[in-house]
Amino acid sequence: MPNEFISLQEAAEVLEVSRFTLWRLIRDGQLTAYQSSSDRRRKLVRREDVEALKQPRPVDPKLVA
């Protein structure tokens, strides 16, 4: 499903990070959070966005020791 949303807790489990780290990713603009239409307090993220964060990215050779 292209627009499947998951809870922040589920996203943290998929990424194997804490919820604090997940909120930092949201704050830094690496992940977009959405408000649930049924419960305004509940925040959701798109599963495809979370999966994209799991993909390996190139490393800057200057940063590799």
Which tokens belong to 30? 């690496």
Look at residue 44 and tell me whether its pLDDT is greater than 60: yes
Amino acid residing at 4: E
Nearest to 46 by CA among 14, 1, 6: 6
User: Containing domain of residue 24, as a range?
Assistant: 5-63
pLDDT digits (tens, 9 = 90+) for 2-15: 579 999 999 999 99
Q: What is the 3-state secondary structure (H, E, C) of the chain?
A: CCCCEEEHHHHHHHHCCCHHHHHHHHHCCCCCCEECCCCCCCEEEEHHHHHHHHCCCCCCHHHCC
Look at residue 1 and tell me whether its pLDDT is greater than 90: no
Number of domain units in the chain: 1
pLDDT at 35: 95
We report the CATH number of the domain holding residue 14 as: 1.10.1660
pLDDT digits (tens, 9 = 90+) for 7-38: 999 999 999 999 999 999 999 999 999 999 99
